[in-house]
């Protein structure tokens, strides 16, 4: 992807560009309005009840602090109605950014452990998914992820919720691993990923976000990752970059997330350019957009700036996500064609 001509206004082009998002968290996408509304319902919570104060609350000193704040928002999700409202509103926010398809990472263990009935949880996310598709045209699929720091008990429970035919939601396509990486080695989760893959789910663990390249190697070799969440530290290992490029294993890059959690010091130091120069398939994602004071369109603008992309280059990024997704081939072709048609209309003299 090289610079052909300076984009007229990348933000305007990006705002209308049809997109797919592969790495974005369910609770992490709760808008300040939704979080404030839920916090008002639960006065015992320390989460601020007004959106302005929330911006300060969502300022993190390090990754561990981010997880602490993240879990305080998880604590606000207490009823199936909270789950349904959150999910439907997240889809509304996505539709406003022309997101046609998203694989939303859900951590069911964290909700069922807090007392939400598992059947009611699955019904709530599925009802919202179908309503969002009908009302906004946004197609949602689920990734169920293990909160790694909660250990093998949470792995067992997440696998059960993902594979029990009486519970597994129709929209479930993948199986992930989130939470802190430090002190949470990937290999211990191999038996759970093996069983999830055997049940037809795609493996998409986080790796290399706050630890080195070995975590990414482990995700590839032990967890048979088809995509890598973040993979930021891959840039430290040329052999790993070559492996990712050769085997077309996409990275789910979340630039502002890496700055907000202090995984990367400044955007200009972000390794996204090294990834592209090494031939690695890069997708652009927002991770936990309201918590990081960003949204997907902003992440595309950041990537376009760091990679020096014009409209065609930006459109290629969007198509990378479509092709790296687990949507059916017909669905992929439909969105890719929409991206091309939009781009040609935009560039027509």
Ligand X SMILES: Nc1ncnc2c1ncn2[C@@H]1O[C@H](CCC(=O)c2cccc(C(=O)O)c2)[C@@H](O)[C@H]1O
Which residue reads 């008990």 in tokens? 153
Which is closer to ligand X, CB of 223 or CB of 314? 223
Restricted to residues 270-289, the positions that interact with ligand X (CB under 6 A) are: 287-288
Out of 150, 173, 197, 278, which residue is the one contacting ligand X (CB under 6 A)? 150
Count of residues in contact with ligand X, rule CB under 6 A: 21
Which is closer to ligand X, CB of 147 or CB of 213? 147
Structure tokens at 251: 């990275």
Chosen from ligand X, Zn ion, none, partner binding at 95 (C-beta under 5 to 8 Å by type) = none
Contacts of the segment 220-226: beta carbons below 8 A, 24+ positions apart: 220/249, 222/186, 222/187, 222/189, 222/190, 222/193, 223/177, 223/186, 223/189, 223/190, 223/193, 224/193, 224/194, 224/197, 225/249, 226/202
Number of H helices, E strands in the chain: 16, 9
Out of 126, 145, 222, 311, which residue is the one contacting ligand X (CB under 6 A)? 145
CB contact at 8 A, 151 and 109: no
Alpha-carbon span 106 to 101, nearest angstrom = 16
Which is closer to ligand X, CB of 192 or CB of 342? 192
Alpha-carbon span 323 to 206, nearest angstrom = 19
Which is closer to ligand X, CB of 285 or CB of 325? 285
Q: Does 87 bind ligand X (CB under 6 A)?
A: no
Chosen from Zn ion, ligand X, none, partner binding at 18 (C-beta under 5 to 8 Å by type) = none
> For the residues of 172-240, what is the DSSP string, one character each?
EEEEEEES--TT--SGGGHHHHHHHHHTTPEE--EESSSS-HHHHHHHHHTS--SSEEE-GGGGG-HHH
Which is closer to ligand X, CB of 286 or CB of 325? 286
Beta carbon of residue 249, minimum distance to ligand X (angstroms, whole number): 19
Of 209, 222, 252, 311, the catalytic one is 209
CB contact at 8 A, 218 and 187: yes
Out of 118, 123, 149, 157, which residue is the one contacting ligand X (CB under 6 A)? 149
What φ, ψ does residue 218 adopt, rounded to 5°?
A: -60, -40
Binding region for ligand X (CB under 6 A) out of 30-38, 41-49, 132-140, 147-155: 147-155
Beta carbon of residue 287, minimum distance to Zn ion (angstroms, whole number): 5
Which is closer to ligand X, CB of 107 or CB of 283? 107
Binding region for ligand X (CB under 6 A) out of 39-47, 96-104, 106-114, 192-200: 106-114
Sign for the pseudo-dihedral over CA of 71, 76, 81, 87? negative
Structure tokens at 266: 């400044």
- Convert residues 282-321 into a mask of x (bound to Zn ion by CB under 5 A) and - (unbound): -----x----------------------------------
Q: Identify whether 81 is a catalytic site residue.
A: no
Chosen from ligand X, Zn ion, none, partner binding at 48 (C-beta under 5 to 8 Å by type) = none
Which residues contribute to the site for Zn ion (CB under 5 A)?
287
Question: Which sequence positions are flagged as catalytic?
Answer: 209
């Amino acid at each position: 992807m090289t610079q052909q001509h300076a984009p007229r206004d990348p933000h305007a082009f990006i705002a209308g560009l049809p997109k797919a998002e592969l790495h974005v968290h369910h609770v992490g996408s709760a808008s300040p309005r939704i979080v404030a509304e839920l916090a008002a319902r639960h006065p015992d919570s320390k989460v601020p009840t007004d959106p302005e104060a929330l911006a300060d609350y969502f300022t993190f000193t390090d990754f561990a602090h981010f997880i602490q704040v993240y879990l305080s928002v998880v604590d606000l999700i207490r009823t199936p109605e909270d789950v349904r409202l959150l999910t439907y509103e997240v889809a509304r926010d996505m539709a406003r950014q022309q997101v046609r398809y998203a694989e939303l990472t859900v951590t069911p263990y964290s909700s069922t452990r807090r007392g939400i009935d598992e059947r009611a949880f699955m019904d709530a996310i599925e009802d919202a998914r179908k309503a969002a598709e009908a009302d906004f045209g946004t197609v949602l699929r689920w990734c169920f992820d293990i909160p790694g720091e909660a250990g093998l008990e949470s792995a067992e429970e997440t696998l059960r919720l993902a594979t029990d035919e009486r519970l597994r939601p129709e929209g479930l396509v993948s199986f992930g691993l989130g939470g802190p990486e430090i002190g949470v080695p990937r290999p211990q989760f191999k038996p759970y990923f093996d069983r999830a893959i055997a049940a037809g789910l795609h493996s998409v663990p986080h790796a290399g976000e706050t630890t080195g390249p070995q975590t990414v190697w482990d995700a590839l070799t032990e967890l048979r990752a088809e995509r890598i969440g973040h993979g930021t530290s891959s840039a430290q290992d040329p052999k790993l970059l070559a492996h990712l490029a050769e085997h077309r294993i996409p990275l789910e890059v979340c630039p502002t997330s890496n700055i907000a959690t202090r995984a990367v010091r400044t955007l200009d130091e972000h390794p996204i350019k090294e990834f592209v120069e090494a031939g690695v398939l890069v997708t652009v994602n927002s991770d936990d957009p309201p918590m990081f004071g960003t949204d997907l369109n902003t992440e595309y603008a950041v990537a376009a700036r760091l990679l020096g992309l014009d409209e065609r280059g930006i459109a290629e990024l969007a198509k990378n996500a479509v092709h790296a997704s687990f949507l059916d081939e017909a669905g992929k072709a439909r969105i890719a064609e929409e991206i091309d048609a939009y781009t040609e209309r935009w560039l027509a003299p």
